[in-house]
Structure 1
Amino acid sequence: MENKSHALAAGAFVLVVVAMLVGLAAWLTRDTGEHRLFEISSHESVTGLQEQAPVRYKGVTVGRVQSIALDREKAGNVLVRFAVDGTAPMTTATFATLGFQGVTGLAFIQLDDSGAPSQALATNDEQPPRIPMHASLLSRLSDQGAGLLTQLDEASQHVNQLLAAGNQKKLMDAIDHMGQAAANIGQLAHAVDQSNLGGMVKDAGVAFKSLKTNADRLGEMSDSVGTSADAFKRMSERMSGPGGTLDAIAQGSDTLLTTGKTLNTTLVPRINRTVDDTARTVRHIGRAVETVNDNPQALLLGNGTVLPGPGEPGFSQPNAR
């Protein structure tokens, strides 16, 4: 009966300590600052955004998402209500985008300022002011994906036209006619050597006529090749120019790489330190539980004085019975 009463007292003590720790954590993490409510009505998808997701102004956390629901005023839009503290400069030039935390897929609201002349937004908790929502980087990349595929298809078509069987045949015919023209010129030179002016004039006429035919065919083929090359050049300029598809893909890759580096340098060390602290706490609690199990009276009377052992000063051998 006495052991049960000690165990009950130990359990009650542990529960009280746990309740005190929870209360202390809640008190330390309480938020006593003044917050202002704002809303975002977005036609874009907000996949990955959850309640209590962070709201950041140029990378600095200034608030949290309060609620996510469908907009009753605009059909097909998503209404996101969030609260920010007084340090965030919310003006008429402020806009929001949807950002993503590394490769986790979790989203957050990124606030920014266009830099245009503006004035501070007045707050109203009953009817919060609305902030415009701009398309995110991933949304723009997905929208430009269809255009990129169309441009690649056009490029393949122009290349196929350039290497078509008809163009190849024209090129081979032109080469053959050039060979015939060279042969005719050779015959003309031989005729000049033989001083056969009549044959020379006749052969020269045939040679010039053959050259004219070859020149006409080469002109037709060069026009076709030039048209295909111009189209391919325009498509390449659209893809590789400033603000083009390749530029947008490069910016998205840089953003993902920067986010991955930030995740590795900040989040992972914090998780490791938290795991180590948790392991040490569990070991301390385990040793405390073992002590209570071995000597439940230690909760009320303490550990007591440890008697000296054999060979230590003050040791006295117990009387043998």
Structure 2
Amino acid sequence: MENKAHAMAAGVFVLVVAALLALLAVWLTRDNGERNLFELSTRETISGLQPQAQVRFRGVPVGKVEFIGFDHKTKGNVLIRISVDVATPLTQSSFATISSQGVTGLGFVQLEDVGPSTVPLVPNDDDPPRIPLKPGLLDKLLNKSEVIMDQVEAASTKLNKLLGDGNQQTLMTSVQQFGQAADSINKLALKLDPFVATMPRLGQEASATMKSLKTAADDVSRTANEVNTTAKKLNAKDGPLDKLAQGGEALSGAVETFSAATLPRLGEVADETARAMRQLRRTVNAVDDNPQSLIFGNGAPVPGPGEPGFTAPGEKP
């Protein structure tokens, strides 16, 4: 009799504890907040999303998924009904996406509002308004996966062709040809070193020749300037020609002045011009007779009579 009393007491205790635990669970899971109903309709796959899943607005929990089923208004679409806190700032530009949390892969509804509209979304529990559901990052990746795989396959095919035996042989041949070309350039540079060494001397001789030509040109220019000056003096007012028109006596004076001062100077200028032209002609003849002198110089002069090494014309050396 006593054992039955103990068993009954234990059973009553277990029932009371179970009832208390049930009440505690109900109290912990109670939801006293006021919420509004909204609907989402999509043709996309919503794998991982379950009833009672969280609804977040920019990462903040604001509700849960109440129902998942088929949309009777749009054939073939999936209908998701969510309840959202009344304080959630939803507008007519708000939209939703399906996201996954962590490594568990459990889905939740993410609400966003990046649009320009500030008109609040009016709730109606009898006919809940619908929020657009846009593809999430995972959905976009899955939609593009086929294209990405095709591109990867095409790239691998091209890479295999590029690394084929024929192309590898061609590449090795090109490398060898580049090496041979480099060797040829080095050999050519070695051959050009003596010529490059003679370039400074050639430049000096060319500079001396150019100075001579410049001197001759300066003489000619100076002569031309003097002739021009003389002509201006002759044509100036009250000049020799003007005075020549005034009378024979002025003509005689002008002729004497011209003969005494200008003609000797013209003779000197003509002599200088002739000397410059002869010097230029000798330079041109020397280059014409011995063109290599521009590179190697004139060399030693030919010995004259009485000098060692002189050989008279017609005699054997």
Change (3 A) 1:37 1:173: closer
| 2:22 counterpart SS class | helix
The alpha-carbon deviation at position 20 of structure 1 amounts to 2.8
| 2:33 counterpart SS class | coil
| 2:76 counterpart SS class | coil
Give the paired residue count. Answer: 188
Q: Distance in 2 between matches of 1:37 and 1:173?
A: 72
Q: What is residue 87 of structure 2 aligned with on the other side?
A: 87
Q: What is residue 227 of structure 1 aligned with on the other side?
A: none
The alpha-carbon deviation at position 169 of structure 1 amounts to 6.9
Q: Distance in 1 between matches of 2:174 and 2:6?
A: 108
Query: What is the one-letter code of the residue matched to 1:151?
Result: Q
| 1:152 counterpart SS class | helix
Q: Distance in 2 between matches of 1:116 and 1:76?
A: 31
Q: What is residue 156 of structure 2 aligned with on the other side?
A: 156
Q: What is residue 62 of structure 1 aligned with on the other side?
A: 62
Query: What is the one-letter code of the residue matched to 1:100?
Result: S
Q: What is residue 276 of structure 1 aligned with on the other side?
A: none
Q: Runs of 5+ in structure 2 lacking a partner?
A: 188-317
Spell out, residue by residue over 1:6-58, the C-alpha distance to the aligned partner (whole angstroms, 9 max, x if none).
43134223322431332233234311111100000011101111111111111
Q: What are the equivalent positions in structure 2 for 1:1-321 lying under 5 Å apart?
A: 1-163=1-163, 172=173
Q: What is residue 301 of structure 1 aligned with on the other side?
A: none
Spell out, residue by residue over 1:98-152, the C-alpha distance to the aligned partner (whole angstroms, 9 max, x if none).
1112222321111111242231111111110111111111111222222222222
The alpha-carbon deviation at position 161 of structure 1 amounts to 4.4
Query: What is the one-letter code of the residue matched to 1:75?
Result: K
Change (3 A) 1:168 1:99: closer
Q: Distance in 2 between matches of 1:27 and 1:166?
A: 77
Change (3 A) 1:173 1:5: closer
Spell out, residue by residue over 1:273-292, the C-alpha distance to the aligned partner (whole angstroms, 9 max, x if none).
xxxxxxxxxxxxxxxxxxxx
Query: What is the one-letter code of the residue matched to 2:56?
Result: R
| 2:14 counterpart SS class | helix
Checking the alignment, whether the CA contact within 8 Å between 2:91 and 2:117 is kept in structure 1 is no
| 1:130 counterpart SS class | coil
Change (3 A) 1:4 1:148: same
Query: What is the one-letter code of the residue matched to 1:155?
Result: A
Q: TM-score, normalised by structure 2?
A: 0.51
Change (3 A) 1:6 1:116: same
| 1:100 counterpart SS class | strand
Mean CA deviation greater in 122-131 or 162-171:
162-171
- Bigger radius of gyration among the two: 2
Query: What is the one-letter code of the residue matched to 2:121?
Result: L
Query: What is the one-letter code of the residue matched to 1:149?
Result: M
Query: What is the one-letter code of the residue matched to 1:120?
Result: P
Query: What is the one-letter code of the residue matched to 1:139?
Result: D
Q: Equivalent pairs: percent with the same residue?
A: 48
Query: What is the one-letter code of the residue matched to 1:68?
Result: I
Q: TM-score, normalised by structure 1?
A: 0.50
| 2:128 counterpart SS class | coil
Query: What is the one-letter code of the residue matched to 2:107?
Result: A
Q: Distance in 2 between matches of 1:57 and 1:106?
A: 17
Q: Distance in 2 between matches of 1:18 and 1:174?
A: 85
The alpha-carbon deviation at position 97 of structure 1 amounts to 0.9
| 1:69 counterpart SS class | strand
Change (3 A) 1:175 1:74: same
Higher relative contact order (CA 8 A, sep 6+): 1
Q: Distance in 1 between matches of 2:166 and 2:29?
A: 77
Q: Distance in 1 between matches of 2:168 and 2:6?
A: 99
Query: What is the one-letter code of the residue matched to 2:19?
Result: A
Q: Distance in 2 between matches of 1:166 and 1:50?
A: 57
Query: What is the one-letter code of the residue matched to 1:44?
Result: E
